[in-house]
């Protein structure tokens, strides 16, 4: 092979490995082998400067020093975003959009708002030619040499990219890398950095690009600007950018309504702390680029986009101790025991640490001063460590290896961040936890009995599982602490009354891992009785609407267990409901099986909700918007004309209320 070919082969291989490692997060060779290849390429390039290439992976290690960063005018202005803080703000925004777009269908792409430093990357013929900071929006600083060291920024694109375009994104410093950098700084007696955002933007302006290369920076992209890109929507933009090799977070959703947007916001307000990098809100964008163009910009921001800022009140306090809780399914939750601190009007003493990964991500240690935040959830969260206050003798947190209650070694399954105690039938907290769940209000709603009573009954050896509840007698219960004749009688009566609780709630009460209220309802409806459900295979379960592999596996595992089968047989013998009640079954048919209906407008004989219920009771599906998958559009009075046009173009049959009622 000629020298030129060798160099090219190495560059191609290293590019692919970089992409696998930094964009996909799925390396296919060892770090050592990677370094060897890189060294080989560096040596060849040094000997043969005639084969220089501005996109060579060797440029990632940096080395060029920039004394002054040139000012570059953005070909297209980098706008700011309008902010919103409530559902009302968003509804007002939608109203303003409606004034321009009328009752055209509007879809929204929701993305997270990454908290770092904005960047604009220019690509020509698939090569990165320039990286410029946002600056004042009109012009910024040329930081190309530094940005080239960020491994997830592609220097050479793949696929069918347009000849010239800019792509915008955010340069972030993920928590884990930030914690590592700070741990090193503290160890070297240097001042730790304040927060990931400032450190990320500071990094871009370092003069020595080799120093930038050492920082674990990441670049997340969200927007392409350019002419003739052939892209028609924001969603397609994200997909295309991903295809060309950019890192585009998959946490994004195409939403059909403001309700769906709100659901996305509420979900991520809570779950954003599980992400590897910092986010401070959601960005909602009108999906169609044509509609974006119609809406245009104000003097400072696009009218087609809106940032929703998460509310967050933060305080710092000392983490005294990390303890571990065992849940009813055996899941272990680490808990931070804090020096009491006032946050959003309440005194906080404890915070959830979620799992081992979360602790490692922030490098949280006992004795640390931590930042505690209250978001959409009731339980406050730890969102960072104040490294400047880390005590001298601090050591990294060692996660427990065995259950704190029964000392069984913990296990962790792939795809699940939690550790589990697998001693399901012997671990005392799991036993009582399951029974406590069984009697709870949303499950069997057993009156006259509370969580402490369950613990007492278990400690006295009177119950080992929820089936044992049904054989309890007044005489057995009366001697318990704080029990009197009357309360003992109520307890026994409460248990007896629970045989009336409908099947779907019984299914929820059984406490199968991942089977919450909604899933229990779906399963009850699909299988009608427990015997059919117990006989179902994994494939059959997955075929049920909204049931995935994780749930299916858990259901199978639960029913395969001999003890569970025995308990269910006993519950049956006591009269607990294990099939859908006759009146529920009576109104249910399979007449509409396999068909999807979209309901629109106002109806005369039945309400919209009744109509939807009729569809579901007869085995049909209710869709939220018309697509090629829609079988029928049930059209009421005052239905929007755009819906009708859409149904007509897609060949979806339009039927009236009477037509529909005749079908069922």
C-alpha of 212 from chain center: 30
Q: Which does 113 bind (CB under 5 to 8 A by kind): Zn ion, ligand AMP, none?
A: ligand AMP
Tell me whether residue 304 or residue 470 sits nearer to ligand AMP (CB atom). Answer: 304
Indicate whether 69 belongs to the interface with ligand AMP (CB under 6 A): no
Q: Closest approach of Cβ 417 to ligand AMP, in Å?
A: 25
Cα separation, 196 vs 182, whole angstroms: 10
Question: 606: which DSSP letter?
Answer: S
Edge-to-edge strand order for the sheet containing 83-84? 83-84, 305-309, 279-286, 108-114, 252-255
Cα separation, 659 vs 597, whole angstroms: 13
Q: Which does 390 bind (CB under 5 to 8 A by kind): ligand AMP, Zn ion, none?
A: none
Over the Cα atoms of the chain, what is R_g? Answer: 30
Query: Is 113 designated active site?
Result: yes
Q: Which residues contact residue 36 at a Cβ distance below 8 angstroms, ignoring those fewer than 6 apart?
A: none
Only segment of 107-115, 237-245, 416-424, 648-656 that touches Zn ion (CB under 5 A): 416-424
Cα separation, 360 vs 238, whole angstroms: 30
Only segment of 242-250, 400-408, 547-555, 622-630 that touches Zn ion (CB under 5 A): 400-408
Count of other CB atoms within 10 angstroms of residue 66: 18
Tell me whether residue 433 or residue 448 sits nearer to Zn ion (CB atom). Answer: 433
Binds ligand AMP (CB under 6 A): choice among 6, 40, 55, 80: 80
Indicate whether 421 belongs to the interface with Zn ion (CB under 5 A): yes
Q: Which residues contact residue 380 at a Cβ distance below 8 angstroms, ignoring those fewer than 6 apart?
A: 343, 348, 351, 352, 372, 373, 374
For every residue of 319-335, DSSP letters joined together read: EEEEEEEE-TTSBEEEE
Cα separation, 637 vs 635, whole angstroms: 7
Indicate whether 222 belongs to the interface with ligand AMP (CB under 6 A): yes
Indicate whether 272 belongs to the interface with ligand AMP (CB under 6 A): no
Indicate whether 118 belongs to the interface with ligand AMP (CB under 6 A): yes
Indicate whether 265 belongs to the interface with ligand AMP (CB under 6 A): no
Only segment of 112-120, 324-332, 611-619, 655-663 that touches ligand AMP (CB under 6 A): 112-120
Binds ligand AMP (CB under 6 A): choice among 94, 107, 111, 579: 111
Q: Closest approach of Cβ 562 to Zn ion, in Å?
A: 20
Tell me whether residue 334 or residue 375 sits nearer to ligand AMP (CB atom). Answer: 375
Tell me the site size for ligand AMP, rule CB under 6 A.
11
Tell me whether residue 233 or residue 564 sits nearer to Zn ion (CB atom). Answer: 564
Q: H/E/C letters for each residue in 405-435?
A: CCCCEEECCCCCCCCEECCCCCCHHHHHHHH
Binding mask 124-143 for ligand AMP (x = CB under 6 A): ----------x---------
Q: Closest approach of Cβ 110 to ligand AMP, in Å?
A: 9
Given the residues 26, 39, 87, 113, the one annotated as active site: 113
Q: Closest approach of Cβ 563 to ligand AMP, in Å?
A: 49
Q: Which does 427 bind (CB under 5 to 8 A by kind): ligand AMP, Zn ion, none?
A: Zn ion
Greatest Cα-to-Cα distance within the chain, rounded to the nearest angstrom: 96
* Contact criterion met (CB below 8 Å) for 511 and 519: no
Only segment of 51-59, 108-116, 475-483, 504-512 that touches ligand AMP (CB under 6 A): 108-116
Q: What are phi and psi of 289, to 5 degrees?
A: -70, -30
Tell me whether residue 27 or residue 428 sits nearer to Zn ion (CB atom). Answer: 428
Q: Closest approach of Cβ 122 to ligand AMP, in Å?
A: 16
- Please give the residues from 139 up to 178 whose contact with ligand AMP meets the rule CB under 6 A: 170
Question: 19: which DSSP letter?
Answer: I
Q: Closest approach of Cβ 359 to Zn ion, in Å?
A: 20
Indicate whether 492 belongs to the interface with ligand AMP (CB under 6 A): no
Binds ligand AMP (CB under 6 A): choice among 19, 114, 165, 175: 114
* Contact criterion met (CB below 8 Å) for 27 and 35: no
Indicate whether 113 belongs to the interface with ligand AMP (CB under 6 A): yes
Q: Which residues contact residue 230 at a Cβ distance below 8 angstroms, ignoring those fewer than 6 apart?
A: 162
For every residue of 148-199, DSSP letters joined together read: TT-TTS-SB--SS--SEEEEEEEEE--HHHHHHHHHHHHHTTPPPPS-HHHH
Indicate whether 427 belongs to the interface with Zn ion (CB under 5 A): yes
* Contact criterion met (CB below 8 Å) for 141 and 133: yes
Binding site for ligand AMP (CB under 6 A): 80-81, 111, 113-114, 118, 134, 170, 222, 283, 307
Residues with catalytic function: 113
């Amino acid at each position: 092979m000629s020298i030129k070919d060798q160099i090219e082969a190495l560059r191609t291989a290293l590019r692919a490995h970089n992409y696998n490692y930094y964009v996909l997060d799925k390396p296919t060779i060892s770090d050592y082998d990677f370094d060897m290849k890189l060294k080989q390429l560096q040596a060849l390039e040094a000997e043969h400067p005639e084969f220089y290439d501005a996109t060579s992976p060797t440029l990632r290690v940096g080395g060029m020093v920039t004394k002054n960063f040139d000012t570059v005018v953005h070909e297209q202005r980098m706008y700011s975003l309008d902010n919103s803080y409530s559902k009302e703000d968003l509804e007002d925004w939608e109203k303003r959009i409606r004034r321009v777009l009328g009752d055209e269908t509007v879809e929204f792409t929701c993305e997270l708002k990454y908290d770092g430093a904005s960047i604009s990357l220019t690509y020509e013929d698939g090569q990165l030619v320039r990286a410029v900071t946002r600056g004042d929006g009109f012009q910024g600083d040329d930081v190309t040499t530094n940005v080239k060291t960020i491994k997830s920024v592609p220097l050479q694109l793949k696929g069918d990219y347009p000849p010239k375009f800019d792509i915008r994104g955010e340069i972030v410093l993920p928590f884990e890398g930030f914690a590592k950098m700070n741990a090193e700084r503290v160890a070297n007696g240097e001042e730790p950095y304040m927060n990931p955002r400032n450190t990320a933007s500071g990094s871009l302006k370092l003069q020595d690009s080799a120093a930038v290369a050492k920082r674990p920076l990441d670049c997340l992209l969200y927007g392409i600007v350019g002419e003739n890109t052939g892209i028609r929507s924001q969603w397609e933009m994200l997909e295309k950018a991903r295809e060309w090799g950019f890192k585009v977070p998959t946490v994004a959703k195409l939403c059909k309504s403001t309700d769906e947007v709100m659901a996305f916001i509420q979900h991520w307000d809570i779950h954003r702390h599980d992400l590897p990098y910092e986010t401070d809100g959601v960005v909602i964008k009108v999906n169609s680029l044509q509609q974006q163009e119609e809406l245009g910009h104000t003097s400072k921001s696009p009218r087609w986009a809106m940032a929703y800022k998460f509310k967050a009140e933060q305080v710092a306090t000392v983490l005294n101790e990390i303890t571990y809780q065992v849940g009813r399914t055996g899941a272990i939750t680490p808990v931070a025991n804090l020096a009491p601190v006032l946050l959003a009007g309440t005194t906080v003493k404890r915070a959830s640490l979620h799992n081992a990964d979360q602790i490692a991500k922030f490098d949280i240690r006992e004795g640390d001063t931590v930042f505690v935040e209250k978001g959409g959830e009731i339980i406050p969260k730890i969102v960072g460590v104040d490294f400047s206050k880390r005590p001298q003798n601090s050591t990294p947190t060692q996660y427990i290896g065995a259950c704190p209650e029964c000392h069984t070694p913990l296990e962790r399954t792939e795809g699940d961040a939690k550790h589990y105690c697998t001693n399901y039938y012997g671990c005392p907290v799991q036993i009582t936890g399951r029974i406590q769940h069984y009697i709870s209000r949303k499950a069997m709603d057993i009156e006259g009995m509370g969580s402490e009573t369950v613990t007492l009954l278990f400690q006295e050896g009177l119950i080992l599982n929820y089936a044992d509840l049904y054989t309890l007698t007044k005489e057995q219960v009366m001697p318990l602490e704080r029990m009197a004749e009357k309360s003992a009688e109520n307890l026994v009566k409460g248990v007896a009354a629970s045989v009336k609780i409908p099947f779907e709630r019984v299914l929820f009460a059984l406490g199968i891992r991942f089977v919450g209220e909604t899933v229990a309802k779906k399963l009850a409806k699909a299988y009608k009785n427990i015997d059919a459900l117990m006989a179902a295979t994994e494939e059959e379960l997955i075929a049920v609407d909204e049931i995935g592999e994780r749930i299916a596996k858990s259901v199978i595992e639960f029913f395969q267990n001999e003890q569970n089968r025995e308990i269910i047989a006993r519950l049956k013998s006591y009269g607990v409901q294990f099939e859908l009640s006759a009146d529920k079954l009576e109104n249910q048919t399979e007449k509409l099986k396999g068909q999807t209906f979209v309901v629109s407008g106002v109806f005369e004989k039945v309400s919209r909700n009744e109509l939807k219920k009729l569809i579901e009771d007869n085995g049909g599906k209710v869709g939220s918007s018309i697509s090629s998958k829609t079988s029928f559009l049930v059209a009421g009075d005052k239905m929007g004309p755009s819906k009708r046009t859409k149904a007509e173009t897609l060949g979806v049959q339009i039927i009236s209320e009477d037509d529909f009622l005749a079908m069922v």
